[in-house]
Amino acid sequence: MKNSSVQTLAMTGMLIALAMVFSYIEALVPVFALIPGFRIGLANMAIIFALYRLGFLKSLEISVIRVILSTLLFSNALSFIYSMAGAVTSLLLMAFLKKTGVFSTLGVSVCGAVMHNLSQLLVAVLLFESSQLMYLLPFYVLSGTVAGVFIGLCGALILERTKGLGYEGI
C-alpha cells in the first residue's frame, strides 16, 4: 500500500493540521516589538517535511491552505497578503534550491526564511508606497536567518528520524 493516494491524502491532512497548530501557537505569542511582524515560522517545519517527502505541489497545497485557514482564524485580510506573498515566494525558492542538490535542509530553510521576510518587506513597501521601510532589511535578514536555522535544524532532525517509516516519496 506504499505510495497510495490514501496515504498521501492522510499525510497532507496531518501536515495541514500540524501547520495550523503551530500557527495557533505563534498567534498566542506576542510579536517581537523591535521587528514588526516577526514570527519564528514554526509551521514551516511541516512545509519542509512536505517539500522533502511529498514534493513541491503538495507542499504548495499545504502552505496555501495553511495561510488561508490561519488568516480566517487568527488574522486579517492585510496579513493574508503578507503571509501568502512570503509563503509562495519562499516555497518557490526552497523547491529550486532543493532541486539543485547544492543546499542541505538547513541551507534551504535559511534561504526560504530570508526570502519569506524579504517578500513581506517588499509587499509593505509597495502597499504603503514607502521605501523608508527598507531600514528594516537588515533586521529581516538577520531574523530570517536565525528562524531559518532553527526550523532547518528541526526539519532535518524530523526528516532523519522519519527515514524508513514509509514517508519517502508518498
Distance, in Å, from the CA atom of 105 to the CA atom of 114, rounded to the nearest integer, reads: 14
**Domain annotation covers residue 167:** no
Query: Which range of residues forms the domain containing residue 77?
Result: 5-161
Would you state the pLDDT for residue 130? Answer: 87
Percentage with pLDDT > 90 across the chain: 69
User: Mean pLDDT in the chain?
Assistant: 90
**Domain annotation covers residue 168:** no
Q: Are 145 and 103 in contact (CB under 8 A)?
A: no
The amino acid at residue 65 is I
Q: Which of 71, 73, 53, 42 is nearest to 10 (CA)?
A: 53
Q: Are 50 and 59 in contact (CB under 8 A)?
A: yes
Domain count, the chain: 1
**Domain annotation covers residue 166:** no
Would you state the pLDDT for residue 138? Answer: 92
Would you state the pLDDT for residue 1? Answer: 41
**Domain annotation covers residue 81:** yes
Name the helix (H) or strand (E) containing 34: none
**Domain annotation covers residue 15:** yes
The enclosing domain of 106 has a CATH number of 1.10.1760.20
Tens digit of each residue's pLDDT (9 = 90 or more) over 115-137: 999 999 999 999 988 888 888 89
Would you state the pLDDT for residue 158? Answer: 94
Would you state the pLDDT for residue 31? Answer: 64
Burial class of residue 156, CB neighbours in 10 A (0-12, 13-18, 19+)? middle
Would you state the pLDDT for residue 170? Answer: 58
**Domain annotation covers residue 149:** yes
Whether 3 has a pLDDT exceeding 80, the answer reads: no
Taking the CA of residue 79 as centre, how many other CA atoms within 13 Å lie in the half-sphere pointing to its CB?
17
Whether 29 has a pLDDT exceeding 90, the answer reads: no
Tens digit of each residue's pLDDT (9 = 90 or more) over 48-107: 999 999 999 999 999 999 999 999 998 888 889 999 999 999 999 999 999 999 999 999
| Residue 120 grid cell | 513581506
